[in-house]
């Protein structure tokens, strides 16, 4: 966009409960106010994805494409070709899943500046059940050449990330959630694409997390401290390009790494970190990917589902303790 | 007044160069390149598509999206003839390092607006480009060339719905209705008829023509431009012949995606002199 756009105070405080999709809706509406080239497409879910706020403020630049995600992404590509900055939103199952080949060929292969901002990702979509709980989207988006993949941890980070990707020229996939999750950053935090953030310093075990699992990693670190184990918590909001240096640094420090994500253990953050450790790290690191163990989800409360599928704070504590005894 | 003699000559040159490219590469799609040569020549040399080879991104230009990206030889030949690059360069078609990729690639070839190849994308891309023109109050026209077999991809019908919903009368699409796809006749593979009725039912203006009659193409484009003040997107169903212009290729499924041998090329060029 040429110049740094000034963000507003979001009003969210540490510990507040807010969904990353709420932050998306807020940031998007503001970007629409500030830049006439920002356009938004949705697939009949604007009330859910929160693009409704942009739609209300800028009806001429909002396109409801109906329940037709392939065409939504293909149309976004055409708008980007003519210099617009399209944000295309639906549930992640459809924006990333149904429309994958349009993201790959219409957007990425055409080098077009489309932001695919997908909400309701992961298990925490909750009661809708397995058909809607995409646990594969990070995997299928990050394998597309030139794609940037971002998974914000909370509303503050999501808000800042949406500003950041609007400034960035290139295709982006942003993974956003339905559920309200605790705010872990304060307003002084500054998100940067490709930069990890250390939330808790520690020397015994590294918890590298993204999305809703960042809060759980912080809670686990508190529990571990009571046992005398000092966990380092790293927020890895950008899955691609990955902050390799941050991974090497913390792994060198602790020698123990646990990755945490609301995603299949295959193809997500864990695999990305494992690749860095295997290729670029010389010493032996004790390593565990914690995520969904290649299973479909089911209906239920989102947070209860995380517990059910092995991502409870107690599960993280148990794994970290096991590693520290090893 | 359209110079039909020139358009006819250019169409012939597009055919000749397309066959030479596919022959040189020993792979590619001759049949569907020959069937759209008259449409491309009418757009670029009949005065219907504003373009500027000196500035491919000229803000005043019209836009062509060739959705049938496998017919890349025809588009590359047309753009070469229009002066976007030396046409001799196209003989590197499909070779490692060539900018003339097997399927159309905008990042490598000036004058190409959108990379295509995977069928079913171009009409959606065109909807986005047409929406952008409406937002900017830009008077440009957006042309799209679809194959008929391509319409079996469901995304086209999503795009067709949206073009009508958004009243994109600046969008003028062609279907290259050559009735043949890779495995055989379209109506035997997965029938498209009644095709004009389908687009009428989707709230498009439909014009049906002989896609090899230059006067009919010219009239259809003139009519389509006049319809730009209306509220409907325009579909020109161009009844064509796959392999048009080379007797032994015409209406032959076998020439969808097979390169001519030396003797085939020599025989074809005799007919295209």
- Reading chain A (326 residues) residue by residue, the pLDDT tens digits are 444 567 888 899 998 999 999 999 999 999 999 999 999 999 999 999 999 999 999 999 999 999 999 999 999 999 999 999 999 999 999 999 999 999 999 999 999 999 999 999 999 999 999 999 999 999 999 999 999 999 999 999 999 999 999 999 999 999 999 999 999 999 899 999 999 999 999 999 999 999 999 999 999 999 999 999 999 999 999 999 999 999 999 999 999 999 999 999 999 999 999 999 999 877 789 999 999 999 999 999 999 999 999 999 999 999 999 999 97
Q: Facing residues of A117 across strands?
A: A89, A174
Q: Is the pTM of this model over 0.95?
A: yes
What is the CATH classification number for the domain harbouring B221? Answer: 3.40.50.970
User: A35 at the B interface (CB within 8 A)?
Assistant: no
CB contact at 8 A, A270 and A142: no
Among all residues of chain A, which has the CA nearest to that of B162? A65
* Chain A residues touching B121 at Cβ < 8 A: 74, 77, 102, 105-106
What band does B201 get if pLDDT is binned at 50, 70 and 90?
Answer: very high
What band does B273 get if pLDDT is binned at 50, 70 and 90?
Answer: confident
Note the pLDDT of residue A281: 77
The alpha carbon of residue B66 is apart from the nearest alpha carbon of chain A, in Å, by: 13
* DSSP line for A219-250: HHHHHHHHTT--EEEEE--EEES--HHHHHHH
Note the pLDDT of residue A2: 43
| Residues ≥6 apart with Cβ < 8 Å to A52 | A25, A46
Tally of domains within chain B: 1
* Model pLDDT for residues B164-196, shown as the tens digit of each residue: 999 999 999 999 999 999 999 999 999 999 999
Q: How far apart are CA A267 and CA A112, in angstroms?
A: 25
| Rounded alpha-carbon distances, angstroms, from residue A24 to A29, A93, B173 | 8, 18, 36
Query: Least CB-CB distance to B124: which of A66, A78, A82?
Result: A78
CB contact at 8 A, A172 and A150: yes
User: A105 at the B interface (CB within 8 A)?
Assistant: yes
Any idea how long chain A is?
326
* Chain B residues touching A80 at Cβ < 8 A: 128
Smallest CA-to-CA distance from A20 within A261, A183, A133 is with A183
Q: Which domain holds residue B225?
A: 4-52+60-272
Q: Do B158 and A73 touch (CB under 8 A)?
A: no
Burial of B61 (0-12, 13-18, 19+ CB in 10 A): middle
* Chain B residues touching A101 at Cβ < 8 A: 118
* Model pLDDT for residues B207-257, shown as the tens digit of each residue: 999 999 999 999 999 999 999 999 999 999 999 999 999 999 999 999 999
Query: Least CB-CB distance to B106: which of A66, A86, A110?
Result: A110
Does pLDDT of B265 surpass 60? yes
The alpha carbon of residue A73 is apart from the nearest alpha carbon of chain B, in Å, by: 8
Does pLDDT of B1 surpass 90? no
Active site residue A187: no
Query: Which residue carries 């008077």 as its tokens?
Result: B139
Q: Considering A69, A157, A232, A262, which one is annotated as catalytic?
A: A69
Does pLDDT of B100 surpass 90? yes
In order of start, what are the domains of chain A with their CATH numbers? 17-182 (3.40.50.970), 197-325 (3.40.50.920)
CB contact at 8 A, A203 and A232: yes
Among all residues of chain B, which has the CA nearest to that of A114? B128
37-96 in chain A: CB under 8 A from chain B: 39, 60-61, 63, 65-66, 68, 70-71, 73-84, 86
The alpha carbon of residue B269 is apart from the nearest alpha carbon of chain A, in Å, by: 35
By a Cβ cutoff of 8 Å, what residues of chain B touch chain A? 65, 106-107, 113-115, 117-118, 120-121, 123-133, 135-136, 154-155, 158-159, 161-162, 165-166
| Rounded alpha-carbon distances, angstroms, from residue A112 to A262, B122, B245 | 28, 14, 37
Angle between helix B37-45 and helix B4-25 axes, rounded to 10 deg: 130
Q: Report the DSSP pairing between strands A238-240 and A148-150.
A: antiparallel
Convert A106-144 to b/e letters by CB count within 10 Å (16 or more is b): bbbbbebbbbbbbbbbbbbbbeeeeebbbbbbbbbbbeb
Q: How far apart are CA B146 and CA A43, in angstroms?
A: 24
Note the pLDDT of residue A4: 58
* Chain B residues touching A88 at Cβ < 8 A: none
Note the pLDDT of residue B6: 97
* Chain B residues touching A70 at Cβ < 8 A: 120, 124, 154-155, 158
* Model pLDDT for residues A178-202, shown as the tens digit of each residue: 999 999 999 899 999 999 999 999 9
Q: Do B124 and A75 touch (CB under 8 A)?
A: yes
Report ipTM (2 d.p.). 0.97
pLDDT, greater one: B273 or A3: B273
Among all residues of chain B, which has the CA nearest to that of A58? B135
Q: B218: helix, coil or strand?
A: helix
């Amino acid at each position: 966009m040429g110049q740094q756009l000034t963000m507003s105070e979001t009003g969210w405080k540490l510990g507040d409960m807010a969904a990353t999709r709420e932050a998306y809706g807020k940031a998007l509406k503001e970007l629409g106010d500030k830049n006439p080239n920002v356009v938004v497409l949705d697939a009949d879910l604007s009330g859910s994805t929160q693009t409704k706020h942009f739609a209300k403020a800028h009806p001429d630049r909002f396109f409801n494409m109906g329940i037709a995600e392939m065409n939504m992404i293909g149309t976004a590509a055409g708008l980007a070709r003519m210099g617009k900055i399209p944000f295309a939103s639906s549930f992640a199952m459809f924006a990333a899943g149904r429309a994958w080949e349009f993201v790959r060929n219409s957007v990425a292969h055409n080098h077009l500046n489309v932001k695919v901002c997908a909400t309701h990702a992961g298990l925490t979509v909750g009661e809708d059940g397995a058909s809607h709980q995409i646990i594969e989207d990070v995997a299928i988006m990050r394998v597309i050449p030139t794609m940037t993949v971002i998974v914000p941890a909370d509303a503050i980070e999501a808000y800042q990330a949406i500003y950041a990707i609007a400034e960035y020229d290139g295709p982006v996939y942003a993974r956003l959630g339905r559920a309200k999750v605790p705010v872990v950053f304060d307003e002084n935090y500054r998100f940067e694409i490709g930069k990890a953030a250390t939330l808790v310093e520690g020397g015994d075990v590294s918890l590298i997390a993204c999305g809703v699992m960042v809060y759980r990693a912080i809670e686990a670190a508190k529990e571990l401290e009571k046992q005398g184990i000092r966990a380092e918590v790293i927020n890895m909001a950008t899955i691609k390009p990955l902050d390799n240096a941050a991974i090497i640094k913390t792994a060198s420090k602790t020698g123990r790494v646990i990755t945490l994500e609301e995603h299949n253990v295959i193809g997500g953050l864990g695999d990305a970190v494992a690749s860095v450790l295997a290729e670029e790290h010389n010493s032996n690191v004790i390593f565990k990917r914690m995520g969904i163990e290649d299973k479909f989800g089911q209906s239920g409360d989102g947070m209860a589902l995380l517990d059910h599928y092995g991502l409870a704070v107690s599960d993280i504590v148990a794994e970290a303790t096991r590693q520290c005894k090893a | 007044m359209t110079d039909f003699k020139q358009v006819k000559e250019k169409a012939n040159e597009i055919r000749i160069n397309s066959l030479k490219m596919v022959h040189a590469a020993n792979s590619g799609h001759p049949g569907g390149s020959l069937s759209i040569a008259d449409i491309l020549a009418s757009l670029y040399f009949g005065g219907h598509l504003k373009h500027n080879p000196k500035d491919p991104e000229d803000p005043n230009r019209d836009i062509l999206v060739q959705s049938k990206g496998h017919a890349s030889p025809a588009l590359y030949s047309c753009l070469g003839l229009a002066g976007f690059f030396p046409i001799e360069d196209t003989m590197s078609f499909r070779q490692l390092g060539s900018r003339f990729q097997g399927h159309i690639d905008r990042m490598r070839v000036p004058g190409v607006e959108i990379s295509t190849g995977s069928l079913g994308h171009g009409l959606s891309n065109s909807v986005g480009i047409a929406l952008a023109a409406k937002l900017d109050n830009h008077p440009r026209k957006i042309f799209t060339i679809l194959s008929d077999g391509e319409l079996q991809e469901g995304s086209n019908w999503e795009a067709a719905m949206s073009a009508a919903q958004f009243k994109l009368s600046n969008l003028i699409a062609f279907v290259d209705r050559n009735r043949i796809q890779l495995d055989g006749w379209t109506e035997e593979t997965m029938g498209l008829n009644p095709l004009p009725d389908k687009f009428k039912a989707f709230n498009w203006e439909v014009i049906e023509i002989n896609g090899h009659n230059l006067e009919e193409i010219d009239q259809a484009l003139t009519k389509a431009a006049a319809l730009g003040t209306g509220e409907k997107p325009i579909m020109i169903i161009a009844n064509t012949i796959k392999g048009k212009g080379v007797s032994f290729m015409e209406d032959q499924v076998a020439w969808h995606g097979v390169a001519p041998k030396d003797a085939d090329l020599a025989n074809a060029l005799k007919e295209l002199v």
